[in-house]
Amino acid sequence: MKVNVHFDSQVRRIAGCRTVSLDVDQDTSLIEVIKRVGNSGTVGLRSTLMDEDDSVRPSILIFLNNELVAKEQQCVLHEGAELTLTTLISGG
Protein backbone atom coordinates (compact mmCIF):
# COMPACT_ATOMS: atom_id res chain seq x y z
CA MET A 1 0.00 0.00 0.00
CA LYS A 2 1.08 3.60 -0.48
CA VAL A 3 1.61 6.17 2.28
CA ASN A 4 2.82 9.73 1.90
CA VAL A 5 5.30 11.19 4.35
CA HIS A 6 5.48 14.98 4.44
CA PHE A 7 8.29 16.98 6.01
CA ASP A 8 7.79 20.42 7.53
CA SER A 9 10.06 23.06 9.04
CA GLN A 10 13.65 22.07 9.74
CA VAL A 11 12.94 18.41 9.14
CA ARG A 12 12.17 19.36 5.54
CA ARG A 13 15.42 21.21 5.23
CA ILE A 14 17.32 18.13 6.38
CA ALA A 15 15.21 15.72 4.33
CA GLY A 16 15.76 17.85 1.26
CA CYS A 17 12.23 17.42 -0.04
CA ARG A 18 8.63 18.10 0.92
CA THR A 19 7.17 14.63 0.50
CA VAL A 20 8.15 11.04 -0.13
CA SER A 21 5.71 8.33 -1.18
CA LEU A 22 6.44 4.89 0.22
CA ASP A 23 5.13 1.49 -0.72
CA VAL A 24 4.78 -0.46 2.50
CA ASP A 25 3.18 -3.71 3.57
CA GLN A 26 -0.39 -3.74 4.79
CA ASP A 27 -0.62 -2.94 8.50
CA THR A 28 2.86 -1.46 8.71
CA SER A 29 3.19 0.51 11.93
CA LEU A 30 3.77 4.22 12.06
CA ILE A 31 7.06 3.75 13.89
CA GLU A 32 8.30 1.33 11.23
CA VAL A 33 7.59 3.92 8.55
CA ILE A 34 9.47 6.61 10.48
CA LYS A 35 12.44 4.29 10.92
CA ARG A 36 12.40 3.49 7.22
CA VAL A 37 12.43 7.21 6.40
CA GLY A 38 15.25 7.76 8.87
CA ASN A 39 17.27 4.96 7.34
CA SER A 40 16.79 6.22 3.79
CA GLY A 41 20.38 7.40 3.67
CA THR A 42 19.70 11.14 3.72
CA VAL A 43 22.51 12.71 5.72
CA GLY A 44 21.35 13.87 9.14
CA LEU A 45 17.79 12.65 8.82
CA ARG A 46 18.09 9.62 11.05
CA SER A 47 19.72 11.55 13.89
CA THR A 48 17.09 14.29 13.53
CA LEU A 49 14.22 11.84 13.87
CA MET A 50 15.61 9.15 16.16
CA ASP A 51 17.49 8.93 19.43
CA GLU A 52 20.56 6.78 19.91
CA ASP A 53 18.30 4.07 21.33
CA ASP A 54 16.27 4.00 18.09
CA SER A 55 13.19 5.72 19.50
CA VAL A 56 11.60 8.82 17.99
CA ARG A 57 13.00 11.98 19.53
CA PRO A 58 10.62 13.75 21.94
CA SER A 59 10.88 16.95 19.91
CA ILE A 60 9.53 15.33 16.74
CA LEU A 61 5.86 15.98 16.11
CA ILE A 62 4.00 13.25 14.26
CA PHE A 63 0.73 14.08 12.57
CA LEU A 64 -1.32 11.31 11.01
CA ASN A 65 -3.97 12.69 8.70
CA ASN A 66 -3.54 16.07 10.42
CA GLU A 67 -3.96 14.74 13.96
CA LEU A 68 -1.13 14.64 16.47
CA VAL A 69 -0.08 11.11 17.40
CA ALA A 70 1.67 10.29 20.66
CA LYS A 71 5.05 8.65 20.06
CA GLU A 72 4.24 5.76 22.36
CA GLN A 73 0.96 5.11 20.56
CA GLN A 74 0.89 1.82 18.69
CA CYS A 75 -0.54 2.88 15.40
CA VAL A 76 -1.04 0.92 12.19
CA LEU A 77 -1.18 2.81 8.92
CA HIS A 78 -3.73 2.31 6.21
CA GLU A 79 -3.69 2.83 2.46
CA GLY A 80 -3.36 6.51 1.60
CA ALA A 81 -2.23 7.59 5.05
CA GLU A 82 -0.78 11.08 5.16
CA LEU A 83 2.01 11.34 7.70
CA THR A 84 3.72 14.61 8.59
CA LEU A 85 7.02 14.77 10.48
CA THR A 86 7.95 18.14 11.89
CA THR A 87 9.06 20.00 15.01
CA LEU A 88 7.88 23.07 16.83
CA ILE A 89 9.29 26.23 15.32
CA SER A 90 10.29 29.33 17.21
CA GLY A 91 10.87 32.18 14.80
CA GLY A 92 9.36 35.38 16.09
The site for another protein (CB under 8 A) is made up of 8-11, 13-14, 47-48, 57-61, 63, 66-68, 70, 84, 87-92
Q: Which is nearer to another protein, 28 or 48 (CB)?
A: 48
| Amino acid making up residue 7 | F
Least distance in Å: CB of 90 to another protein? 5
* C-alpha–C-alpha distance, residues 23 and 8, integer Å: 21
> Reduced to 3 states, what is the DSSP secondary structure of residue 61?
strand
Q: How far is the CB of 25 from another protein (least distance, A)?
A: 27
